[in-house]
């Protein structure tokens, strides 16, 4: 038979770990957003001088993955609230102004089941955030590569 105290301790530790990963994913996404400012600075710098047509084309091609990366990063940091979730803090809003109903609902809920559901939901959110951050890094890399080629061609031609 499984020891409920041991299971509760494992769930508590897993929640701590997943919350740490969530903070890391949000920090990574937030730290990548300013890279787009560097891209815009490059565009402004290039716009002040005549450029070869191929460099202009590359510059516009660089803008596409860079803009997509920003959209992906914004999507990664956008809050997600499931109002219909049977567990977690979003459902608590339904009890605003009705604390006795909240206490009753919490008393009817199996604590370990609730924690396990919240943990798995949070883990899925973290995984999705990391996937978006990874995609944004790839898009930023492509955009920066195209921008650097455009800058090089502008300097050489």
- Residue 30 has a pLDDT of 86
Dist CA 154 CA 152 (whole Å): 5
Q: Sign of the C-alpha dihedral, residues 123, 128, 134, 136?
A: negative
Reported pTM: 0.79
Residue pair 133/73 in contact (Cβ under 8 Å)? The answer is yes
* DSSP-derived secondary structure letter, 57: H
Per-residue tens of pLDDT for the chain, all 157 residues: 578 788 888 888 988 999 999 999 999 888 888 878 877 777 777 677 788 889 888 888 988 999 999 999 999 988 876 666 666 677 777 788 888 888 888 788 888 888 888 888 889 989 999 999 999 999 999 998 998 898 888 888 8
Residue pair 22/122 in contact (Cβ under 8 Å)? The answer is yes
Q: Which residues contact 53 (CB under 8 A, 6 or more apart)?
A: none
Dist CA 129 CA 10 (whole Å): 24
């Amino acid at each position: 038979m499984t020891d409920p105290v041991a299971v509760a301790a494992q769930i508590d530790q897993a929640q701590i770990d997943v919350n740490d990963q969530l903070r890391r994913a949000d920090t990574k996404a937030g730290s990548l957003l300013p890279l787009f400012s560097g891209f815009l600075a490059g565009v402004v710098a290039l716009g002040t001088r005549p450029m070869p047509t191929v460099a202009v084309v590359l510059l516009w091609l660089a803008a596409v993955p860079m803009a997509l990366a920003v959209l992906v990063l914004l999507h990664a940091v956008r809050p997600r609230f499931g109002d219909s979730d049977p567990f977690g803090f979003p459902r608590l809003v339904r009890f605003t102004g009705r604390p006795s109903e909240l206490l009753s609902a919490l008393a009817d809920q199996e604590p370990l089941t609730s924690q396990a559901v919240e943990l798995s939901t949070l883990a899925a959110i973290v995984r999705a955030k990391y996937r978006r951050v990874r995609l944004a890094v790839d898009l930023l890399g492509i955009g920066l590569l195209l921008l650097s080629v455009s800058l090089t061609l502008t300097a050489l031609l």
